[in-house]
């Protein structure tokens, strides 16, 4: 009897310890989310992963990344990215349930993962803190961080950080580096066609940069151009 009571106490202590660790861990994420509401992130976790990969081939490799404020990013690029990645961005609270359902149905039909359904907020949560893995744990943590971002940041800040940190090619991060790399132009001067072409690359930038004028990219660019006027930006 005493032994059973002792085991029960240890189980309770263990559960309490796990709860405490989990709370502290989420508090760590929350602290960074609040801090980055007012200060611009330098290196995201995803950038660090990519830099480590590059330095396995070339120890002197560096990322191309220059932060620019929201006002110095072309409104055409903002519209194009929303049209291509998350057309309900200004209206949802972090999750596009309809889009996720459509992605699930499409994946089931194809028998493999061909669509993600992630919003800009979810993608940003992953880029800032997590790995590209698709484990249930990573997706759950992504959801928690997404809620934090949507609670403490406004849509303008979410889009600003996203556009400055998203990957746009091998070692290329953010709108400014992408604009200069592909079009020799600052991010603030991108035209509609240029913006649409960059937006189309986002699902797989390292693949599309090998042939940025392929038939697929050209076709998708035309589609996004047709949606620009309907995209609402924060």
Q: What is the maximum alpha-carbon separation in the chain?
A: 77
Helix (H) or strand (E) holding 130: none
Phi-psi region of 200 (alpha: psi -120 to 50; beta: other; left: phi over 0): alpha
Higher pLDDT, 137 or 17: 137
Distance separating alpha carbons of residues 97 and 82, to the nearest angstrom: 16
Which residues have C-beta within 8 Å of that of residue 187, sequence separation ≥ 6?
Answer: 68, 72, 73, 74, 77, 163, 175, 176, 178, 179
pLDDT at position 14 is 67
CA-based R_g, the chain, Å: 20
The domains of the chain are located at 1-39, 42-230
The domain covering 42-230 belongs, at the CATH homologous superfamily level, to Biosynthetic peptidoglycan transglycosylase-like (1.10.3810.10)
Distance separating alpha carbons of residues 78 and 89, to the nearest angstrom: 11
Question: Does the pLDDT of residue 133 top 80, yes or no?
Answer: yes
DSSP string, 2-31: HHHHHHHHHHHHHHHHHHHHHHHHHHHHHH
DSSP 8-state secondary structure symbol assigned to residue 52: H
Question: Does the pLDDT of residue 233 top 50, yes or no?
Answer: yes
Confidence category of residue 10, pLDDT binned at 50, 70, 90: low
- Tens digits of per-residue pLDDT, 68-96? 999 999 999 999 999 999 999 999 998 88
Task: State the CB neighbour count (10 A cutoff) for residue 152.
Answer: 13
- Tens digits of per-residue pLDDT, 171-202? 999 999 999 999 999 999 999 999 999 999 99
Q: Is 67 helix (H, G, I), strand (E, B) or coil?
A: coil
CA angle 156, 165, 146 (to 5 degrees): 60
pLDDT more than 90, % of the chain? 70
Helix (H) or strand (E) holding 218: helix 215-227
- Tens digits of per-residue pLDDT, 96-127? 888 777 756 665 555 545 456 799 999 999 99
Of 88, 64, 81, 87, nearest to 190 by C-alpha is 81
């Amino acid at each position: 009897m005493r032994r059973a009571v002792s085991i029960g106490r240890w189980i309770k202590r263990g559960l309490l310890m796990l709860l405490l660790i989990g709370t502290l861990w989420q508090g760590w994420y929350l602290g960074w989310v609040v801090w980055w509401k007012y200060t611009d992130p330098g290196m995201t976790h995803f950038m660090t992963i990519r830099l480590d990969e590059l330095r396995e081939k070339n120890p002197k490799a560096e990322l191309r990344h220059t932060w620019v404020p929201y006002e110095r990013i072309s409104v055409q690029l903002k519209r194009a990215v929303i049209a291509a990645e998350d057309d309900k961005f200004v209206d949802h609270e972090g999750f596009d349930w309809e889009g996720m359902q459509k992605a699930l149905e499409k994946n089931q039909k194809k028998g493999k993962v061909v669509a993600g359904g992630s919003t800009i907020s979810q993608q940003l949560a992953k880029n800032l803190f997590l790995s590209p893995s698709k484990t249930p744990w990573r997706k759950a943590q992504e959801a928690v961080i997404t809620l934090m971002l949507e609670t403490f940041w406004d849509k303008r800040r979410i889009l600003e950080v996203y556009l400055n940190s998203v990957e746009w090619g091998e070692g290329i991060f953010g709108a400014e580096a992408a604009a200069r790399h592909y079009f020799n132009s600052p991010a603030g001067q991108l035209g509609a066609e240029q913006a649409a072409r960059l937006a189309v690359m986002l699902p797989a930038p390292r693949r599309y940069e090998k042939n940025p004028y392929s038939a697929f990219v050209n076709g998708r660019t035309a589609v996004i151009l047709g949606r620009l006027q309907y995209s609402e930006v924060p």
